[in-house]
Amino acid sequence: MTTAVVILNWNGKALLEQFLPSVVQYSEGATVYVADNASTDDSLAYVSAHFPTVQIIKNTENGGYAKGYNDALANLSEEIFVLLNSDVAVTENWLAPVLSAFKNDDQLVAAQPKILDFNKKTHFEYAGAAGGFVDKLGYPYCRGRIFNTLEEDRGQYNDTTTIFWASGACLFVSSYAFRAVGGLDADFFAHQEEIDLCWRLQAKGGIVKYVGASTVFHVGGATLGAANAQKTFYNFRNTLLMLVKNVKGSVVWWRIFQRLVLDAVAGIQFLLQGKGNHFFAILRAHFSFYALLPKFLRKRKNWASNLKYSEINSVVIAYFLKGEKFYNQLK
């Protein structure tokens, strides 16, 4: 299968210096692209000088993750796109197991490898770990990672299995399926747009899988640090938008109300911790959600479905009240 490995870059010369060599070395048979979101540093000059086989795509603006990839992938002809973060180190033979899964399953439309922490290689990484899920209120969690509890990799997730969402840090997706659902939603800008994409792909009959025979290492937080209030803003806002867009029926409004209440609790907790910037990030997220609501109500007409999207009712209750910190403890 023809494969495009596409790294989105914005002023990321240092990351390219560190991580691009492994991608070029271990991506035999694939075409490697660096898609640039109108960088102002000399990262493209670096790529051209040191990696002549890497193709460069120049976007006209920094449209974030979603629009950046939509623009970059628009004119590519490969059968499989691999959306790879610039802070990911790949390993030998990382492509083959996942591409084999696509060849063996006509319904497979998206997948991810095992994602371990670059800075603590014995443990899973926050953004995707061993495959993602959401609860009924849209809270994301992973096999290998629930909230801030990261499991050690002991081989417990060396399988290939169906998941709900594949991580945007290393997202394999059928180019045909990607285009059939209109690509990523640029209104998300960054964070959780891969969950929305996987939701729509499955609503159209596709399957998303995790392939544990492939491993990559992700730094995480390199674009927006884990403690960055802007990340809090996107995560809280985009979950609300995702529910409105994809959950069919009046039940969505009860779930939105529950989320708003829990968001308020989280905001108060941030205040008590002296993290006022995160409190105001949640406040801004809600105002932005209300501003975008009319637009997403229009999208809802096209995308809301009865797809069964959750395995559990509340990962919040499971984690904080029941003490279920690991995926295999969830009921």
Mean pLDDT, rounded, for 234-256: 97
Query: How many CB atoms sit inside 10 A of residue 40's CB?
Result: 8
Given a cut of 50, is residue 35 above it in pLDDT? yes
Which pLDDT band, with edges at 50, 70 and 90, does 147 fall under?
very high
Q: How far is CA 228 from CA 221, 232, 304, in A?
A: 9, 7, 31
Instruction: Give the CA dihedral 297, 250, 202, 177, nearest 10 degrees.
Output: -20
Q: In whole angstroms, what is the distance from residue 46 CA to residue 215 CA? A: 27
Given a cut of 90, is residue 159 above it in pLDDT? yes
pLDDT in tens, 36-66: 999 999 999 999 999 999 999 999 999 999 9
Q: In whole angstroms, what is the distance from residue 51 CA to residue 42 CA? A: 14
pLDDT in tens, 270-320: 999 999 999 999 999 999 999 999 999 999 999 999 999 999 999 999 999
Tell me the angle at which helices 13-26 and 43-50 cross, rounded to the nearest 10 degrees. Answer: 30
Domains of the chain, first to last: 3-218 (3.90.550.10), 229-329 (no CATH)
Residues 6+ apart with CB under 8 A from 284: 233, 237
Find how far residue 165's CA is from the centre of its chain.
8
pLDDT of amino acid 221 = 60
pLDDT in tens, 118-145: 999 999 999 999 999 999 999 999 999 9
